[in-house]
Structure 1
Amino acid sequence: MDNLLNIVTGISLFISFFLAFFMLIVKTKHKISNRLFAFFLIISAVDISEPFISQISEGPSNLGMFRTTLAFLQIPIFYLYVLSVCYSDFKLKPKYLIHLLPFLVSNIALIPRFYSVDVASKLDFIINRQNMIELQLTHWLFHIQVVVYFTAVFLLLRRAKKLYLENNSGGNLNSYQWLFQLTGVLAALYVIVIFKNIFKFSDYPYISDWIKIGILMLQPFITCWYLYKALNNPGLFRNIDSKLKLVSDFPLEEKTIKPEILNEDLLKLKKYMTDEKPFLNPDLKIQDISKEINVPVRELSVLINHQLGQHFYDFVNTYRIENAMQILKDSSKSKVTILEILYEVGFNSKSSFNTAFKKQTGNTPTSYRKAL
């Protein structure tokens, strides 16, 4: 069993470090997010390296304990990674150093009775771990951190998706689904780790050992899944400005538009969409239309998202689908493929086109064309 664990751990470490190395050297304008993800992979790799660390040092050691406390850095780094891929204006700031606090607190607490004592005292500390307030503090702090950070990540993703829908018309929401899935898988993994820690300090420590073995066996598959998804979703959101506000966050007076202004802006908007066809631009943003029709972004956002009851994303797609329907009805264009049509009307992915088309018409583009 030990040999198998060493082999699996070695494979996991190789994949993690290889992917981290790739993320660090690949040429891209998204260097910060790539470095954060690489750092996350490296910390995760160190976290699962316990079988190798135990072979290097006999018995408990400062290196082994420090490796354990590095787990406090994993989730904060992942949170910053999600921030960086959601918002185009993300920058590392001194205020983010606060995320180091749990890691520092846990290590400072371990100095008097672990880091600064001899090997015999370290061994006694580990044997009597159930009575050691430092380890109890560390474990409770870790569990609280897991709950707080994953709640924050899911709320962040929810807000980012709403901001994207209210201000953008391009891209593919599958990237959001991947980021949500990634967070969900990671959250599930940490829940398993919490159960492992609970059993470790119970009367059934052997259950903790079996859970640890299961996690090590899963690690290579999860890392490969990270790699596959990351390479297939390089764009993610990336074009959301963190300074943007949701319409629901606007003061009540800003969401109330006078009827005469509302009608004037609505006519102006519809005329521009019909005459100029800006929806043909796959990267159209609400700011682009605001500039062209001379209506403030906030007022236009309230008009579309609040008054018309649509996200900007759906509003623009309505015009794209109507244009696509006209092409599909045109018998002279019967040879034009669905793929050519979706690019022609402003979509940039087949899945988003099919989803929007079925949402508006109840049919897929292919079935709609056959029914004509």
Structure 2
Amino acid sequence: MPTLPLKIDFFAMLIFLGVVQGLFLSYFFLTKKPFLWSNRFLGLLILCFSLSITEILLCYTNLMFNTLHLIDFTEPKNFLIPPLSYFYIRTRINHQFSRKDYWHFIPFVVYFIYCSLVFFPQNIYFKYNAYIHSYHPTLPTIENDQYWDYDWVFFIKDHVNLIFFFYLISYLVGIFFMLSKESKKLNLSFFSKENTELVWCRNIFFQMLGIMILFLIVKISFKNDLGDHILAAHLTFVIYLITFRVIHQSVFFHPQVNEEKEVKKYEKSTVTPEIQENILQKIEVLMAQEKPFLQSDFSLPNFAKTLKITPHQLSQIINESLGQNFFEFVAKYRIEEAQKLLTAKEYQNIKIEEIAEMVGYNSKSSFNTSFKKIVGLTPSEFRKNRA
């Protein structure tokens, strides 16, 4: 069979970096403890992106000539991307996912079975012809006696890009209405930057919208799959965007404020009682409506920045007005939210570890300690008593 030499250029290197980073990032989210649906959905979504660009890398660099059995091996998983995106955002907002939602993954199962019957069992010559038809249309095909001469059998595969395009649109519409509804519930506009959680979910929505638009442009502008390397480059950008978000949220980069030392400086503060009362009202509204304390990286410097005051001033207001330090202040809100989740019927089957992460704790032991200190019972005892 005719082959072509290895092709290494800027796009090949960029796509390779995307594969490596994507696999690393997907492993991070899929293994992160404690278990949380949003992390698993994001991990699977990134894994799908990584598998897609892996196949594109093999095809673009001509390595596929040596691994023809892998041609189109990732195609069925394209039907996982829309529902994974939808459920990532939904569980990020309200943590809801149940067994009745599994039907969303039926299209993936159906198409995988279809490919397993129609395409995957085909011989190497058939797959060689499929590869050069998509990426090297100028090369001659090889006669294949075992070719299945039934056009209707391949009708779905021949039109899979069009089917996927409309499938993706349907989920993007669902995501848009979900985000709009959540924004209205918080009395915010769709493009408001006040709620960081909604901002992140909105950014994911626009990235998926960008993928859809680029997918359409590439398929219209290039014959067959000749422009897929552009899609792979964009997916690499999305993977590194998520990586940047993870790094940005890391507590490693958040300076810790020693509040005991701050208290000694309060006598020199310019924060008057009137200013304290005004800021305190803003704090109460933010904590009640936007619930920033649910984020594990919620910190004194970040919250002070949201309020447009200094960490020193925020520490003073919480200490003098509420008689608490910042950590006690946050724990109070988190434990109150945990109590609501532990008594809600829809969360009765959710593990304590998941509840802990839902309310902003990265450690079950820290959650148990704070919960018992405030409530007088462990989370398990509290749930059992309220059952």
**TM-score, normalized by length of structure 2?**
0.53
Q: SS where residue 8 of structure 2 aligns?
A: helix
Cα 1:199–1:98 change in 2 (3 A) is: farther
| Alignment counterpart, residue 55 of structure 1, candidates 60, 63, 69 | 63
2:120 is the alignment partner of 1:104: no
1:75 is displaced (CA, Å) by: 1.9
Separation in 2, partners of 1:121, 1:26 = 42
Q: More deviation in 12-21 or 110-119?
A: 110-119
Separation in 2, partners of 1:197, 1:49 = 19
Q: What residue in structure 1 maps to residue 239 of structure 2?
A: 223
Q: More deviation in 135-144 or 43-52?
A: 135-144
Matching residue's letter, 2:288: K
Cα 1:65–1:136 change in 2 (3 A) is: same
| Alignment counterpart, residue 10 of structure 1, candidates 16, 19, 28 | 16
1:30 is displaced (CA, Å) by: 6.2
Query: Which aligned runs of 4 or more in structure 1 are off by greater than 6 angstroms?
Result: 126-131
Maintained 8 Å contact 2:79/2:108: yes
Deviations 1:251-271 (A, max 9, x none): xxxxxxxxxxxxxxxxxxxxx
Structure 1 vs Structure 2 CA RMSD = 3.8
Cα 1:124–1:134 change in 2 (3 A) is: farther
Q: What residue in structure 2 maps to residue 119 of structure 1?
A: 124
Pairing 1:1-372 to 2, within 5 Å after superposition = 2-4=7-9, 5-27=11-33, 31-50=36-55, 51-52=57-58, 55=63, 58=66, 60-61=68-69, 63-88=70-95, 90-91=96-97, 93-123=98-128, 132-165=154-187, 172-199=194-221, 204-205=223-224, 208-209=225-226, 211-232=227-248, 281=284, 284-285=287-288, 338-341=310-313, 344=317
Separation in 1, partners of 2:39, 2:162 = 31
Cα 1:341–1:150 change in 2 (3 A) is: same
Maintained 8 Å contact 2:71/2:127: no
1:60 is displaced (CA, Å) by: 4.7
Q: What residue in structure 1 maps to residue 302 of structure 2?
A: none
Cα 1:233–1:81 change in 2 (3 A) is: farther
1:15 is displaced (CA, Å) by: 1.1
Separation in 2, partners of 1:197, 1:59 = 24
1:106 is displaced (CA, Å) by: 2.4
Separation in 1, partners of 2:39, 2:281 = 33
Deviations 1:65-120 (A, max 9, x none): 231221111121111111110004x23x2222212222223233334542333233
Maintained 8 Å contact 1:114/1:121: no
Gaps of 5+ in 2: 1-5, 138-150, 252-276, 290-306, 327-387
Higher RCO (C-alpha under 8 Å, 6+ residues apart):
1
Structure richer in helix, relative to its length: 1
Separation in 1, partners of 2:284, 2:248 = 23
Identity of aligned residues (%): 14
Q: What residue in structure 2 maps to residue 259 of structure 1?
A: none
1:57 is displaced (CA, Å) by: 5.6
Maintained 8 Å contact 2:45/2:81: yes
Separation in 1, partners of 2:286, 2:203 = 25
Maintained 8 Å contact 2:58/2:64: yes
Matching residue's letter, 1:55: L
Maintained 8 Å contact 2:49/2:235: no
Deviations 1:198-255 (A, max 9, x none): 455xxx44xx52x3222333443332211222444589xxxxxxxxxxxxxxxxxxxx
Separation in 1, partners of 2:180, 2:311 = 30
Cα 1:153–1:111 change in 2 (3 A) is: same
Maintained 8 Å contact 2:64/2:71: no
Matching residue's letter, 1:42: L
Cα 1:76–1:114 change in 2 (3 A) is: same
Separation in 1, partners of 2:80, 2:234 = 21
